């Protein structure tokens, strides 16, 4: 259920409602919108004695209504205007398209700094790079781990970009959060519920990727795990799903973009690098993603893709990334966004 407060409700009214909701043994999540505040009540419905409906007569309350979808805090019903998430000073979900770019994996000081220079000069807003890599084979490069985290942090700091990196193991959350501005949950951990719950206990923004066989509703339920545990800073990322098609690495599901924008207030990014697996398809699908309403992109960029230790075939050279950014501008403007 959600308790929609009147637009002129006072802070005391809101606090009183929170106390009443908690007395009824629900957890209260306050969502402060531009127009009005909503108190989302999460918990099992336990019959008449615990009914929230009578809060409708409480001072400052406009109405009490059920959230019909299975995801509650992620639902656009609780925040019609859309969330804006701040990552190291960069806003995601506002009018400006946000571009996260950098190598698949941090491989060396020279490599990550080369990528950082390239993406910064082309106009990216955040630098990415994996330090802990979720590889299909245990015999391939697994990432530089703790050392990679520090290299990424230093490269980002040097060029003035906040950094995003993948978190694989809940035990590493504290360490990774110390070095990174945003923690990425990869496709392979998209339904690792204990990891998601633990990420709900921190305030650092989380970039949640869609699992390769995760339905859109399940994707939003995964976000709900983080939100309901207390972290409102979640950004979604469509990165392709596995289908019968093998000509591309994954099938980028662009249907998901406008559908997610209808169903949720969370910002939606698209990763056409993993979505296609083919560098020559990255720019066209990046443009299509923005045309479809995405709030931004995640693009893999490597100074020398032929020598990449992971995902070489889909990484762009810095020069091609700069061309992508130039091509993006008119598309962003055409859909009422800026870059
Ligand atoms: C990545 O971003 O490098 C990555 C491993 O992505 P995904 O989890 O989407 O496969
Ligand atoms: Mn990758």
Report the CATH number at residue 19: 3.30.70.1140
Please indicate, yes or no, whether residues 91 and 203 belong to a single structural domain of this protein.
yes
Give the count of domains, the chain: 2
Please indicate, yes or no, whether residues 219 and 289 belong to a single structural domain of this protein.
yes
> For the residues 306-327, what does the mean pLDDT come to?
98
From 65, 100, 116, the end of a domain falls on 65
Are 296 and 324 in contact by the 8 Å Cβ rule? The answer is no
CATH number at residue 97: 3.20.20.70
> Looking at the domain assignment, is residue 77 inside a domain?
no
Please indicate, yes or no, whether residues 192 and 285 belong to a single structural domain of this protein.
yes
What pTM value is reported for the model?
A: 0.96
Q: Flag whether pLDDT at 186 surpasses 80.
A: yes
For ligand 1, atom 6, the nearest C-alpha belongs to 186
Please indicate, yes or no, whether residues 285 and 199 belong to a single structural domain of this protein.
yes
Please indicate, yes or no, whether residues 191 and 252 belong to a single structural domain of this protein.
yes
- Give CA–CA dist 297/304, Å, rounded: 21
pLDDT of 196-244, one tens digit each?
999 999 999 999 999 999 999 999 999 999 999 999 999 999 999 999 9
What per-residue confidence (pLDDT) applies to 125? 98
For ligand 1, atom 5, the nearest C-alpha belongs to 186
- Rounded to 5°, angle at Cα 149 from 143 and 150: 130
Say how many Å lie between the CA of residue 63 and the centre of ligand 2.
46
> For the residues 152-166, what does the mean pLDDT come to?
98
Please indicate, yes or no, whether residues 32 and 166 belong to a single structural domain of this protein.
no
Say how many Å lie between the CA of residue 68 and the centre of ligand 2.
36
Determine whether 150 is exposed, middle or buried from the number of CB atoms within 10 Å of its CB (0-12, 13-18, 19+). middle
> Looking at the domain assignment, is residue 339 inside a domain?
no
> Looking at the domain assignment, is residue 242 inside a domain?
yes
Say how many Å lie between the CA of residue 58 and the centre of ligand 1.
48
pLDDT of 48-91, one tens digit each?
767 899 999 999 999 999 988 999 999 999 999 999 999 999 99
> Looking at the domain assignment, is residue 183 inside a domain?
yes
Please indicate, yes or no, whether residues 55 and 198 belong to a single structural domain of this protein.
no
What per-residue confidence (pLDDT) applies to 326? 98
Model confidence band, residue 34 (pLDDT cutoffs 50, 70, 90): confident
Q: Which residues surround ligand 2, an ion (CB under 5 A)?
A: 104, 311
- Share the mean pLDDT of the chain: 96
> Looking at the domain assignment, is residue 149 inside a domain?
yes
Closest by CA to 310, choosing from 161, 163, 142, is 142
Please indicate, yes or no, whether residues 306 and 272 belong to a single structural domain of this protein.
yes
What per-residue confidence (pLDDT) applies to 46? 73
Which residue among 167, 186, 240, 250 is best mutated to probe the pocket of ligand 1, counting the most ligand atoms within 8 A of its Cβ?
186
User: Which percentage of the chain shows pLDDT scores above 90?
Assistant: 94
Please indicate, yes or no, whether residues 24 and 170 belong to a single structural domain of this protein.
no
Q: Flag whether pLDDT at 14 surpasses 90.
A: yes
For ligand 1, atom 3, the nearest C-alpha belongs to 104
- Give CA–CA dist 268/287, Å, rounded: 15
pLDDT of 93-150, one tens digit each?
999 999 999 999 999 999 999 999 999 999 999 999 999 999 999 999 999 999 999 9
Among 1-15, 36-50, 101-115, name the one with the lowest average pLDDT. Answer: 36-50
Please indicate, yes or no, whether residues 184 and 278 belong to a single structural domain of this protein.
yes
For ligand 1, atom 4, the nearest C-alpha belongs to 186
Determine whether 47 is exposed, middle or buried from the number of CB atoms within 10 Å of its CB (0-12, 13-18, 19+). exposed
> Looking at the domain assignment, is residue 75 inside a domain?
no
* Nearest ligand (C-alpha, residue 129): 1
Model confidence band, residue 47 (pLDDT cutoffs 50, 70, 90): confident
- Give CA–CA dist 274/232, Å, rounded: 26
> Looking at the domain assignment, is residue 240 inside a domain?
yes
- Report residues whose beta carbon is within 6 angstroms of any ligand 1 atom: 104, 130, 134, 186-188, 209, 239, 274
pLDDT of 267-293, one tens digit each?
999 999 999 999 999 999 999 999 999
Please indicate, yes or no, whether residues 217 and 307 belong to a single structural domain of this protein.
yes
What per-residue confidence (pLDDT) applies to 43? 85
Please indicate, yes or no, whether residues 253 and 115 belong to a single structural domain of this protein.
yes
From 19, 34, 65, the end of a domain falls on 65
Which range marks the domain in which residue 34 is found? 2-65
> Looking at the domain assignment, is residue 72 inside a domain?
no
């Amino acid at each position: 259920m959600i308790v929609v407060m009147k637009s002129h409700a006072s802070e005391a009214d809101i606090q009183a409602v929170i106390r009443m909701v908690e007395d009824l043994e629900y957890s209260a999540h306050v969502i402060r919108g531009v127009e009005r505040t909503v108190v989302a009540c999460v918990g099992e419905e336990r019959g008449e004695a615990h009914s929230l409906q009578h809060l409708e007569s409480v001072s400052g309350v406009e109405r009490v209504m059920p959230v019909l979808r299975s995801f509650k805090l992620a639902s656009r019903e609780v925040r019609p205007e859309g969330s804006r998430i701040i990552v190291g000073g960069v806003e995601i979900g506002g009018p400006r398209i946000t571009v996260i770019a950098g190598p698949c994996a941090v491989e060396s000081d020279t490599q990550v700094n080369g990528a950082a220079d390239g993406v910064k000069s082309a106009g990216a807003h955040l630098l990415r790079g994996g330090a802990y890599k979720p590889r299909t084979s245990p015999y391939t490069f697994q990432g530089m781990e703790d050392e990679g985290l520090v290299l990424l942090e230093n490269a980002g700091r040097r060029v003035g970009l906040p950094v995003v990196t993948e978190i694989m193991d809940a035990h590493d959350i504290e360490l990774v959060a110390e070095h990174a501005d945003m923690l990425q949950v990869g496709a392979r951990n998209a339904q690792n519920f204990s990891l998601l719950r633990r990420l709900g206990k921190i305030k650092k923004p989380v970039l949640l990727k869609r699992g390769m066989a995760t339905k859109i509703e399940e994707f939003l339920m995964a976000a709900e795990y983080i939100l309901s545990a207390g972290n409102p800073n979640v950004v979604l990322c469509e990165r392709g799903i596995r289908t019968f098609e093998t000509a591309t690495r994954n099938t980028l599901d662009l249907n998901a973009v406008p559908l997610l924008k209808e169903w949720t207030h969370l910002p939606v990014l698209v990763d056409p690098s993993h979505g296609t697996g083919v560098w020559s398809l990255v720019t066209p699908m990046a443009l299509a993603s923005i045309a479809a309403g995405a709030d931004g992109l995640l693009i893999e960029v490597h100074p020398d893709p032929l020598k990449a230790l992971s995902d070489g075939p889909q990484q762009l050279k810095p020069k091609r990334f700069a061309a992508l950014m130039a091509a993006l501008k008119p598309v962003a403007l055409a859909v009422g966004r800026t870059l």
